Every structure is written in structure tokens, then in C-alpha cells.
Chains A and B, each alone.
Chain A
């Protein structure tokens, strides 16, 4: 694979701005809440700008790994600090930047233990950034576990609705995922005989036998699959998303579930392509079940956040189906869907967070007629819901379209069933919109204020991103293709 080393270390700069922000927050006295918010906004803004620059500066015609940085970390174990960007992780780095910044703005009104919240939040995002950009197996695992570190407290302290249960369930599920990943990683390390954790060296064809690949792939797929919300290991996700505070739900559903899917792509598929081809049928089956199951369960929910939680399970099923096709088109669709689903879910949670902070309820029957009381806030939610239904003109349409075209060719039956399930998703999204935002209003909420311009900024950014990539998908698609097509061509047949 072609590697270009960085003239300016963009990737380390992203990590550094997160870490410096974290340290700055820790040094500010707890009482100065306004200052903490501004510092958080500035540093998350810097990361957003950096990740956007990175996205635009990537040379699509050249392809391969760019902005690479490499330094030996623990030579005796073959661990190196190796970051690089390619078409697979660039969209996700951009996504993380967007969700991070908008998440900080969404949590602007937080009053309880502000300093600790933003410190944990920065640590979480640092880990996610680190994972997306790393090309070293050891670092990928470390970043995965570091992201668990702040998660428990973020949900248990600042969450609501059975928060302690949700936080504990989520943490234990994700750690069991890592219990499968670590043995697989060390297994590959030991079997390769190369004494390195470098993905580029390990992904050369012929290093692992087919049997080794099958074995390691299964462990890695299940381990990362737990985080990606693959059915039947998804049960932590709706509970955790409901319990988490708004900003954390955004990062969690928007970015962290993608970490799981990305882990399957970067670690399992990159290193064990034969295992991937062997287990593709199983992956497609689980993904199709996830799509249908998420949609049907979502239909029965009365809690707004549970609706979003189950729609995430369904949408992440689409990502899984794309990965299971073993085609370049499927990979394109999967990565595209990861990006757009992240933005869309962040927008949904952000809108629900606003409504919940005002009405103090997320129960759909208690809401109603909100579009007359707070028309702007409702619009944001409705745009996100339309995106979730896959309406053309918004970015999600393209991701789902690409995945389904690819899936039809390979798995006709599962593809058709999954498309039908998307109709159910559309149905329940519309039902939510109808019941919560139209129909008779609830008198109690008649006096509530609408979103002001400033409060609306994070949601505007998210809507703008959805519309931009909805109208101009090739901006994203070209980047992804620069990685997926060479990767598929390089696979042994």
C-alpha cells in the first residue's frame, strides 16, 4: 500500500488538541463554569477544523495511507505509535470532529459538575480519535479500552432513566468485547512470528493460514460486534443510550458504535480476509436480523430515546450488511452509512435532549403538538427523522442505497427482507413525528420557549452536513473509494 508521511502531523495535532483541552479543563477551578464551557468549545472547535482540513487535504487521486506518522513505542514488544489516514478512517475522523464539537455545544446548559463532565468527555473523544487513526493493533486495543474508562461515570453521574443499570450493563458488555479482542490480537501477534503489531506488516497476504484467519476473525468479529450493536449483542445499546446524558448519547450512538464497525473493518477484515469471506454468510444473517429486529422493536416503544436507540440497532445492521457483501460497493456503502448515521443520530439525540430539558419527559404519549409550541426544535427532529427514513436529498439515502444494491447482488433474499424492514423504520419514525409533534397539544408545555439561534447552532451544523452530503455524495464517496477499490483488488481470490 502506498504511504505518504506527514509534513505537518495533522493526526497527532488532533490528539494533542484533545489532550491539551483536557488538561486545561482540569486546571480551571470548578466554579468557573462559563470558562470551562468556552475552553471546551474552543478546543473541540480546533479539532473539528483540523479534521475538516485533513479531510479536504487528502489526495484522492493518490490514495493509500497519507499523513502517516510512525515512532517506535515499546521496541521490545514491537509496539509502535503509527497513525495514518486513508479513505476508510477519514470520514470517521471528520464525523468524530463534528459530533464532538456539536456535543459540547449541546451540553452548554449543563450545570451539575461541569468540570468533571467535560474532562471525562474529552478523554472519551481522545480515545475515539486515537482508535480511528491508529494503524497499530496494540494501540487500537488500548484506545478501545480507554474509551470505556470515562463512559461508566459519564452515564452513571449525569444520566437519567435507570442510569446506574444502563451504565453498568454498557460497561460490562463492552469489556466482554475487549475480552475477546485481546486474545485474538495477541494470537495474531504470536502466530505471525514478525514480532510486530503493525497492521500494514501483518496484513501482507500469506502470513496467516486460512484456519488461523477463520479463528481470529470470529473472535474479532464478535468482540467488535458487541460495540457495533450486532444482533444479538445489541441489548446494551438502547438501554445505554437512553440512560446517557444528551452529549454522551450523541458521541455514543453517533461515534462509538462506529468504532465497533470500524474495528471489524480495520482489524478483522484487514488482517483476516479469508475469515471474512468464510463468515460473510453469518455476518449477513446477523445483520439482516438486526435490521428487522430493531425496526420491529422500535415500533412498540413509547420512549423517544428508546425509539432512536432501536433505530440505531437497525441502521447499524445496514452497516453490517454492507460489510458482509465482500464487495467494494458494499464497503463504500457501509462506511458511507457509518458517517451519515452518526450525524443523523447525533441530530436526533440533540433534538430530543432539547425537548427533554424543557418538558422533562421523553414519553411520546405525554408529548404532542410540539410543532406549534416549538416549531424550530421540531424541525430539527423531523429533518433527522426524514434522514433516518432514507429520504432522497439527505445523506443517509446514499449509504442505504449503496448497501442495498450491493446486497441484492449477493444475498437477494436477505436484501429484500432488509429493505422491507426499512419500511417499518419509516413507519415508526413517522408515527413518532405524528404523535409527538402534531396532533393535539399538551397544555402544560404551551409556554415553553423555542430554540434560540445560539442554541440551534449545533443542530444547524448537523443539518447542514446531512444536506451537503445528501446533495453532493461524491465528496465523501470518492474518498472512500480511494481505499475500498484498491483494498478489494488486493485481496487473494
Chain B
């Protein structure tokens, strides 16, 4: 019986999903009331995840492992979900009749990703990732005026199922090599057979499913269209919470090889460089803010990979820290987008004109978020980049770090274009005033403080991420 305590966060989100499943059966539910319920439940979910962060143990015939690594990511997932639901007060991008389904799918998807970060058995992992993927396919296609964005949903689905096919094939190869689907056996046996091509191919194919979620080059093709085509809240969810789960799994899977395979590391180095360079160069020419952030997310997947491919505990810890930093910064940017585009439209960069007058607080939040993404101190983004680069240099990847820094310089260019629009451009015709309610104001202030605090006093969080990295199997 005691064992079920380990599973409480997941049970909570199952409950939340059931509540909204019930609500979706009813014909008349006031969207305001749904919002309040969703917010309350998501807030409680965050609380529950935090309260159960220190649990440790195994469940379900050792297929499910609860440790600090998984619990840290569960807290990040719950935080991302809470923030996204918080921003749903004006859920104009989605038909009112589908709001209950929207919250239902969000809860299911969060549940699936929580299971994903805890799963230590290959088939469980596969089931969890499919559950979260299918929720996202539906969420993406839920946008109003779906006919305009119909391409988005289909593209996401097609590429997604292709990636899953690769993944299950890779898993089958791994099973062939290791004769077991338990991660603990994989970690034990795989380094001894990693010299064989089948092992590397299996691992890379299995990884491709997570690369797809993480939008690492060349699995990024969906990202710009989906970011642009999905409703703003859904994009935020994909850009923040979903990225956390992907990062956790990439860290876990890459760790399987034990750093023994030169081929695998070379491949990861190449993917990291391509991802950073491609994402940053293409982002320069974007006009749509969400599309720009999509390309920037491709680049950031590359930065995070630098930490992961260091294959050291410090490297994994730095990648976890980077994921945390990325969550906060990206959410800050998306929150500003959702506030300004209250009617749920896509936001062009030029529509930010005069933001510093329309809402100084949002302008500042956006500026700090973007400077953070560019890796300028004293923001959390700098600390993240620093830790990642330090971990890589300890292993002697000097050229990779220099390429990463050059990429950070390139990225500053397009972030500055956005900042320029917010601080410098005068609107051609007056845009409507931005309404900022007091809750959003508090959240903005919290985000600003968090970005600076985590950047200036990273000590406790570095210690936490290192402890989490140590708990990896």
C-alpha cells in the first residue's frame, strides 16, 4: 500500500483528466467556470508534485522508477502545465464548446509525460510517449478556423508517427542486443556491445523519437509550422512542458551508452552543431514571433545537447539546469505573446511596436526572456549556457564550445530585432492597449525575479540538478 504514495502525482493528473472528461460530456458548461476549475486543479497538481518530490522507489514490476531525476522533471512539467493553464483565461484560439476537451487533453498529456520521465522499461516508455503524442496531435488540430491550419495538424501527425515507427524499430534492435526491455539491463549490457553497429543504430533510432519531440535537427521540420499553426496556449505547452519531457528522455537514453561509443558521440556533436547553426540562421529571417521562437527552440535543443554529449554527471546536471532555464525564459516570452494577442491570433514581430508604452512590464519581461535566451548575464540563460559549456570543456570539446558561442552571437541578432520592435519602433497605426490584469502582473514580476535570481544565485539549483543527475540509473 505504501507504494502508491510514489504514484500520487500521476494519480492526481488522472483524476484531473477524469473531471474534465466528465465536463466534456455535458453540453452547457460555462467556460469561465471551467477555467477556474482547471487553474485550481493545475495549481494543486503543482503542489502535489512538489510535495512528493523527495520520494524514491520502484513500481509495477520495476518498470517505473521514482527518483530525484524523475521528480525534478515532474515538478517542471507540473509548473509548465500550471503556467499554460494560467494563461488560458482568454482561450480565444479554441472553440468554446471544446474547452473541456482542451483541459482534458492537457491533463492526459501531462500525465503521459510524467509517466515518461519515470518509466525505466522500454515498452512503458513507448506507451507513455505515444499517449502524450496523441494528446498533442489532437490539441494542435483544435485551433479555431482549423481549415486554415489543417496542414499543421496533418504534418505534425505524419512526422510524429514516422518518428514513432523509427523509435519502435530502434527499441526492437536494442531488445535484440540486450535480451531485455529493462533500462537497468540496457545500461549494464549496452556499453559492452556498443561497438557493434546494430547497437548504435538501435540507440540512435530509439533516440530519434525523442529528438522529434525536442525538435533537434533533422527532426525539426514540424516545429515552425506547428508553433505557428497551433493555438497560442497549445504552442506554449509544446514549447515548454513537452520540451522538458523530451530533454529528460534524451538525457536518460544518451546515458545508456556510457560514453563508450565514439560513433554515437560524433553523431551527437554533428547534430548539435547542425541544430544550433540551422536554427539560428533561419530564425533571422522570420517575421512571425512564434515561428521565430520555433527556430530558436531548434537552436536551443542543440545547446542542450552539448551538455548531454559530455557524458559526465556534470554534463547531465548542466543539461537539467538548462532545461529549467529554458522553461522559465520561453514561458516568459510566450506569456507576453498570449497577453498581446488576446484574441488568439498569431503575432507578427512588428505588432510589438510601442510595447514599452503600451505595457512597460510586459516589455521588460519579454526583454529579459529574450536576453536570457541569447545567454546574456545576469539572467538564468547565461548560467545555463555557462554550465553546459563548462561541462563540455572539461571533456575537451573546445571547438564545439566556440561554435556554440558564435551561435549565441548570431542568435542575439534576431532577439535584438524583437527587442527593437518592442522598445524602439513606433506603431504605424495605433494598436489596441494591452490589458494586463493584476494576476498577470504578479506572474510577470515573479518571472522577472526568477530569471534574475536563478542567474545570480544559482548555487542551490546547481546542487539540486547535480543530485538529480547522480540518481540516474
Seen from chain A, the residues whose Cβ lies within 8 Å of a Cβ on chain B are 73-77, 116, 141-142, 145-146, 148-149, 152-153, 156-157, 164, 168, 171-172, 175-176, 178-180, 182-183, 186-187, 189-190
Q: Which residues of A contact B413 (CB under 8 A)?
A: 168, 172
Extra contacts besides A77-B390, A157-B423, A186-B401 (16): CB < 8 Å: A76-B459, A142-B377, A146-B376, A146-B378, A149-B377, A153-B423, A156-B424, A178-B405, A179-B406, A182-B405, A183-B393, A183-B405, A186-B386, A186-B390, A187-B398, A190-B393
Pick the contact of B389: A156, A172, A183 (CB < 8 A).
Answer: A183
Shortest Cβ distance from A72 into B: residue: B459
Known: A74-B458, A145-B376, A179-B402. A153 touches B393 (CB 8 A): no
Q: Which residues of B contact A168 (CB under 8 A)?
A: 413, 416
The answer to whether A164 and B424 touch across the interface, beta carbons within 8 angstroms, is yes
The answer to whether B393 and A157 touch across the interface, beta carbons within 8 angstroms, is no
Q: Mark B439-451, 1 if CB is under 8 A from A, else 0.
A: 0000000000000
Known: A153-B419, A157-B423, A183-B389. A145 touches B409 (CB 8 A): no
CA A301 – CA B409 in complex, angstroms?
Answer: 31
The answer to whether A145 and B377 touch across the interface, beta carbons within 8 angstroms, is yes
Min CB–CB distance B419 → chain A (angstroms):
7
Q: Which residues of A contact B377 (CB under 8 A)?
A: 141-142, 145-146, 149
Known: A76-B466, A179-B409, A190-B393. A145 touches B420 (CB 8 A): no
Seen from chain B, the residues whose Cβ lies within 8 Å of a Cβ on chain A are 356, 371, 376-378, 382, 386, 389-390, 393-394, 398, 401-402, 405-406, 408-409, 412-413, 416, 419-420, 423-424, 458-459, 462-463, 466
Min CB–CB distance A36 → chain B (angstroms):
15
The answer to whether A172 and B376 touch across the interface, beta carbons within 8 angstroms, is no
The answer to whether B389 and A182 touch across the interface, beta carbons within 8 angstroms, is yes
The answer to whether A179 and B389 touch across the interface, beta carbons within 8 angstroms, is no
Pick the contact of A190: B394, B420, B459 (CB < 8 A).
Answer: B394
Pick the contact of B416: A116, A152, A183 (CB < 8 A).
Answer: A152
Known: A74-B462, A75-B459, A145-B382. A190 touches B390 (CB 8 A): yes
The answer to whether A189 and B466 touch across the interface, beta carbons within 8 angstroms, is no
The answer to whether B378 and A183 touch across the interface, beta carbons within 8 angstroms, is no
Q: Which residues of A contact B398 (CB under 8 A)?
A: 183, 187
CA A153 – CA B394 in complex, angstroms?
Answer: 36
29 A-B contact pairs sorted by A residue (CB < 8 Å): A73-B459, A74-B458, A76-B462, A77-B390, A142-B378, A145-B376, A145-B377, A146-B377, A149-B377, A153-B419, A153-B423, A157-B423, A157-B424, A171-B412, A172-B409, A172-B412, A172-B413, A175-B412, A179-B405, A179-B406, A179-B408, A182-B405, A183-B389, A183-B398, A183-B401, A186-B393, A187-B393, A190-B390, A190-B393
Pick the contact of B459: A74, A141, A145 (CB < 8 A).
Answer: A74
Q: Which residues of A contact B393 (CB under 8 A)?
A: 183, 186-187, 189-190
CA A77 – CA B393 in complex, angstroms?
Answer: 14
Known: A168-B413, A182-B405, A183-B402. A152 touches B390 (CB 8 A): no
Shortest Cβ distance from B455 into A: residue: A142
